[in-house]
Structure 1
Amino acid sequence: MPRQLATLATLAALLVVFVAVNMLSAVGLRGARLDLTAERLHTLTDGARAIARDIEEPIDLTLYTTDQVVVDNPAYRALAKRVREIIGEFAAESRGKIRFKVVSPEPWSDEERQVQDAGVEIRPINQKGDVLILGLVGSNTTGGTEVIPRFDPGSEQLLEYDIAKLIYTLKTPVKRTIGVMASIGSGGFDPRTMRPTPPWQTLDLLGKFFERETIPETADRIPDGVDILLVVHPKDLSETALYAIDQFVMRGGRLLVFVDPLCFFDPGNPRDQFAALTGADKASNLDRLLNAWGVEVTNDKVVGDRLYAASQPIRKDGRLVPAQWLPLLGLRREALSRNDEVSRNLEPAIAQVFLAGAIRRKDDAQGPRLTITPILTSSDESGLMEKMGLTDPNTYDQLLDTFAEDTGGHAIAARLTGPINSAFPGGPPAPAQAPPEPAAAPPAGHLKESRVPANIILVADVDMLSDQMQVDLSAQSVIPMQNGNASFLVGAIANLAGSPELLSIRPRGAARPFDRVEKIRRDAAREFREKERKAQSRLDEATRSLQTAIDEDKVKVGEDGRIDLTERQKERVAELRKTVSEADRELRAVKRDQNRAVEQLGSRLKFINIALMPALVALLAVGLGAYRAAQRRAERARSA
């Protein structure tokens, strides 16, 4: 009996301790968590914490949500929980400067109408009148408001950035001004289709982050209020416009340039057949300035890469088959500079480029030269390809046989820094119609050298900004924003604008590429091409042998119109059929082995996840139990 009472007392004491620990942890450890995820998905980045801690005036954040509808939808239930957690962490870091509340408006109420007026999206989900609301409204003490109309499960990896951007905008209401000089992507009127063309989403996105001012390509001066100048696809800029850009940089303006040796999505001039063949009318450059500053971009060649080449369908023998597009690159991980803020925070998202040029030093430049720091770089399996004929992707499969790799990678995007001299040492260019004048001293307002070290980001690809590059082309349906191109553009401008906190918040939780599977496919494709060449060689030999037999023995036609073959000709036909059958069997075997290798990899992963890991845990538990049992026996033996 005393033993039973002692046991009950021990259990009661344990229960009291358990309840006490839970109560104390609920009070003392509120908000504490241990984040063991690989990307630390549940921990604010340093940049996000810096934004929250730097708030001087109170900011009110209101999350509007239809609780019951969200609860009934598993994807939105998890998303709503994640949004609350992130905002809660921002509020905790702000030391009371962020006041956060959640509002669930009643259906058909005035509050629901106010939600809609505030800019939060209300989405009907059925015919009963139920709606889904999940949006955020923020306001500051000066009357400024910012809204995230809706949160979507497909953009969960950008949650921290979106919320941080809203808070940053409210605490820093004055937006930086970006000037945009673009020959493509800004929207307008297409004379070929006689229809208006919408702006590219990536360029249209800039208005949400910055004050945007359009700069005409004929400008003779960049306005003083412009902080960053974005130049996209500069084609045949006048000397006056080039001088305006030059002096903008000399005054300390920040420059982001996208040029392209062959812009696939530039419609070009369809009437100029030679230009369409060579791609001359689809090219752009800023050589007049860059060459003077010690930098050049290849104009006649583009970068191809076996390692980063995307696998996309092409038409072959009347069917769509996957093939590596050497000029279409998905740059990830090793391609991203870990020493530059623009690319360091892109991972695990990828930057996708198409028919990009290579950035390199121009050794014969006079005067100070810019320092080139690569941001996006091709792999060691890359090389330069002549751009002529590359506008037809259906020919890309043939390029794999003749592609030659270089030594080392090629810079596709780079940061250019350092003091420089003006590319116009004699001052502004004379008007086109003005008669030539004798050389004179530059005018008083002309800057011959940069006031501060230049800070320029140069990208040798324009296609990456197009809407067509914001989708997964290999998918059965259009899947938007599967790469980091838009994030790269906004991040580059944010960096040049001097807001590193926002830039340091990287997308997290995005789908990771299956590197092992891609390697299997690349190896299989290489083996397939090698066997295809050998099979084609045998087919050619068998065909020549049959043709020789036909030429020498002459083909006889019977009275019924049937062709009578000699025994020699029949043997050659049989050999040709056998060769065709063997070649087809070998090529099919390569594809079959590829699929089998992928399936075996999947089976191994399933075995590891389903059987091996539980078995290891069980084995560890058994071992731990045996160890404790041995310890207890040893203690009893010592006490005896």
Structure 2
Amino acid sequence: MEGPVKLTLYVTPDTLPQWLADAPEVIQKAAQAVAGESNGKFTFETVNVDDPNSPVNRQTLQEQYGLRPIAAGLFSPQTYYLHMLLQIGDQQPQLLVPSGEITEAAVRTSIEAALKRSSTGFLKVVGVWTPPDQPIPNQFGQMQASIKQYNTILEQLRQDYSVRRVDLSSGQVPPDVDVLVVIAPQGMTDKERYAIDQYLMRGGSVVVAAGNYVLNPDPFTGSLGIQKVDDGLRDMLASYGINVEEAMVMDPQNEPFPVQVDRNLGGVVVREIQAINYPFFVDVRPDGMDRQSPILANLPAVTLNWVSPVQVDESKNADRQVTVLLKSSPHSWLRSNINIQPDLDAYPELGFPIEGEQKSYPLAVAVQGVFESYFKDKPSPLTQQEGQDNADPLAQQASAGDTAQPETVGTLESSPDTARLVVIGSAEFLNDIVFDLSASLSGDRYLNSLKFMQNAVDWSVEDLDLLTIRARGTSARVLNPLTERQESFWEGLNYALALLAVVAIGVIWRIRQQNEAPMELVPVEVLAEGGEQ
């Protein structure tokens, strides 16, 4: 650890709720235990914010660190401070939030996790949230495996990180998580959104695969379908100035879709796999990538499936570093109809009509800087009783003392400038089913999507060394996209070359026959004389 480490507890002991009366002493014991093992590198200090002689008051905490006091109760006029700030050298101070109750073990875990995040040589922890894995009924009413499978990306991340599935229902992200990855957010509660928001406000890094459409296969036919996402992160991301639009990008530059086709060969029906253009599988090549970003180092292509445009609000992001990572080709367009089955009879080239304006659309962005909380000036979900949002206020007040769970840390209303957010407009490009479809036709091409996600995590934890190493590695190389005229040209050329090769072989064989000396036959008389002997 470079530089001294200091933990400061800002507290107002006179206004602490009864249930937190022992918390300052618990925090002090845990901090002193860490200090005793640090050889003088770790120090601890308690500051009474309400003390007239204190160098720090409530206004200072609000202006300098954005820390606001916490309400002592749901309807109590009293407020209090119980905030731990960890200062490591010249780095931005970190707000420590113990998971669950304030115990010596929880406080120590928070301290050690913060120290590991700021040090080198420790295996980083990636927290991953995925939708609940619930079985679905098939056409016979029997339950079958869920389509919400994301095991491939988890295994890929485990090559370089400690990967852990996280449960955000408590309203908190575990304190030892270095980067939070949210895949296909849907059906989320305010507590889960609050956990993500406050993790970002504490200077954390969040990577979100946040398209507005998810897979929803037909249980009777088994064909693929999609549906709109309910209760995702769209509104919260929009408050940060990142708008994931309710439409899908369609691009003539796409990864083909495998379909089964029956062919009649002389009365024998043969079923084979053929590739068709599928504009929903947007194929992003180097001309649609920001090559200056380390996230895209050495990537020849990335496919985003059923992807939504990701628009950046310039006014809200004026003071942040914004990078448009991926964008579609200039010939792409938008579609809001959720019918994803191609009609090759009506539209033989692409399977779908070209609608509206054709232009390039941003598909993924990376943002770093100061964010304003989505829950600013809103009641914290941690203090609201479940199911009573619209209940009688008098009834809430009567039962608040028995069932309400007060916060141990108030809502942070802004983040430090170290906060990082990556938003990708596709919710399903990391789904195992999508990888299987790609592998059936394009081999290892899906590995580029995995590498793109790995690079995004590397950037989020500021592991540029690992990014550099991976950039020198291998990727699944893909051919340059061809127009229909080019495809016809190369197909005709292949047939012509094959025909010329057959003709050439025939000519060479004929010439060899003509140049060979004829074999001399033995006369019949000689054979007869030989037989008599």
Q: Which runs of 5+ in 1 are unaligned?
A: 1-170, 526-590, 604-640
Gap change, CA 1:313 and 1:236, over 3 Å in 2: closer
Separation (CA, whole Å) in 2 of partners of 1:368 and 1:509? 36
Gap change, CA 1:286 and 1:428, over 3 Å in 2: same
The answer to whether 1:302 aligns with 2:248 is yes
Conservation of the 8 A alpha-carbon contact between 2:342 and 2:352:
no
Matched with 2:485 is 523
Gap change, CA 1:201 and 1:211, over 3 Å in 2: same
Aligned length: 350
Conservation of the 8 A alpha-carbon contact between 2:182 and 2:207:
yes
What amino acid does structure 2 have at the position aligned with 1:325?
Y
Tell me the C-alpha RMSD between the 2 structures: 4.0
The offset of 1:326, in angstroms, is 0.8
The offset of 1:600, in angstroms, is 7.7
Conservation of the 8 A alpha-carbon contact between 1:380 and 1:406:
no
The answer to whether 1:262 aligns with 2:213 is yes
1:289 aligns to what SS in structure 2? helix
Conservation of the 8 A alpha-carbon contact between 1:293 and 1:368:
no
Separation (CA, whole Å) in 1 of partners of 2:350 and 2:440? 24
Matched with 1:428 is 380
Separation (CA, whole Å) in 2 of partners of 1:509 and 1:600? 35
The answer to whether 1:494 aligns with 2:458 is yes
Instruction: Report the identity percentage.
Output: 18
Alignment map for 1:41-56 (pairs within 5 Å): none
Matched with 1:571 is none
Matched with 2:511 is none
CA offsets, 1:487-535, max 9 Å, x none?
11111111111210111232555564332xx424x3367xxxxxxxxxx
Matched with 2:426 is 461
* Greater relative CO, 1 or 2 (CA 8 Å, sep 6+): 2
- Which of 403, 411, 415 does residue 446 from structure 1 map onto? 411
Matched with 1:52 is none
Conservation of the 8 A alpha-carbon contact between 1:323 and 1:397:
no
The offset of 1:317, in angstroms, is 8.0
Matched with 2:256 is 311
Matched with 2:199 is 248
Gap change, CA 1:297 and 1:370, over 3 Å in 2: farther
What amino acid does structure 1 have at the position aligned with 2:293?
D
The offset of 1:202, in angstroms, is 1.0
Matched with 2:327 is 377
TM-score (norm 1): 0.48
Conservation of the 8 A alpha-carbon contact between 1:254 and 1:456:
yes
Conservation of the 8 A alpha-carbon contact between 1:295 and 1:370:
no
1:380 aligns to what SS in structure 2? coil
1:450 aligns to what SS in structure 2? coil
Matched with 1:156 is none
The offset of 1:173, in angstroms, is 4.8
- Which of 173, 177, 184 does residue 125 from structure 2 map onto? 177
The offset of 1:372, in angstroms, is 4.0
Separation (CA, whole Å) in 2 of partners of 1:409 and 1:277? 25
1:373 aligns to what SS in structure 2? strand
CA offsets, 1:210-263, max 9 Å, x none?
222322252311122211111111112111111111111111111000112222
CA offsets, 1:325-347, max 9 Å, x none?
1111222211221121111x132
Separation (CA, whole Å) in 2 of partners of 1:504 and 1:325? 34
Matched with 2:283 is 330
Separation (CA, whole Å) in 2 of partners of 1:423 and 1:321? 47
1:484 aligns to what SS in structure 2? helix
TM-score (norm 2): 0.56
- Which of 287, 300, 308 does residue 357 from structure 1 map onto? 308
The offset of 1:205, in angstroms, is 2.7
Gap change, CA 1:202 and 1:401, over 3 Å in 2: closer
1:218 aligns to what SS in structure 2? coil
- Which of 378, 386, 404 does residue 336 from structure 2 map onto? 386
Alignment map for 1:503-582 (pairs within 5 Å): 503-505=467-469, 506=471, 508=473, 510=475, 512-515=477-480, 518-520=481-483, 522-523=484-485
Conservation of the 8 A alpha-carbon contact between 1:233 and 1:284:
no
The offset of 1:456, in angstroms, is 0.3
CA offsets, 1:528-580, max 9 Å, x none?
xxxxxxxxxxxxxxxxxxxxxxxxxxxxxxxxxxxxxxxxxxxxxxxxxxxxx
Alignment map for 1:100-179 (pairs within 5 Å): 173-179=121-127
Separation (CA, whole Å) in 2 of partners of 1:232 and 1:374? 19
What amino acid does structure 2 have at the position aligned with 1:288?
D
Gap change, CA 1:374 and 1:406, over 3 Å in 2: farther
The offset of 1:465, in angstroms, is 0.9
Separation (CA, whole Å) in 2 of partners of 1:335 and 1:284? 31
The offset of 1:286, in angstroms, is 0.9
2:429 aligns to what SS in structure 1? helix
CA offsets, 1:273-329, max 9 Å, x none?
9xx97723x667412311111111122x111111x2123444578676542111112
The offset of 1:188, in angstroms, is 6.8
Conservation of the 8 A alpha-carbon contact between 1:298 and 1:359:
yes
Higher helix fraction (1 or 2): 1
- Which of 396, 399, 411 does residue 362 from structure 2 map onto? 411
Alignment map for 1:77-96 (pairs within 5 Å): none
- Which of 164, 179, 186 does residue 213 from structure 1 map onto? 164
What amino acid does structure 2 have at the position aligned with 1:237?
M
- Which of 470, 486, 492 does residue 596 from structure 1 map onto? 492
Separation (CA, whole Å) in 1 of partners of 2:343 and 2:167? 33
Conservation of the 8 A alpha-carbon contact between 1:471 and 1:480:
no
What amino acid does structure 2 have at the position aligned with 1:302?
M
Separation (CA, whole Å) in 2 of partners of 1:389 and 1:371? 37
The offset of 1:420, in angstroms, is 1.9
Conservation of the 8 A alpha-carbon contact between 1:370 and 1:416:
yes
Matched with 1:289 is 236
What amino acid does structure 2 have at the position aligned with 1:375?
L
Separation (CA, whole Å) in 2 of partners of 1:369 and 1:598? 55
Matched with 1:123 is none
Separation (CA, whole Å) in 1 of partners of 2:495 and 2:236? 53
Conservation of the 8 A alpha-carbon contact between 2:342 and 2:351:
no
Matched with 1:630 is none
The offset of 1:375, in angstroms, is 0.7
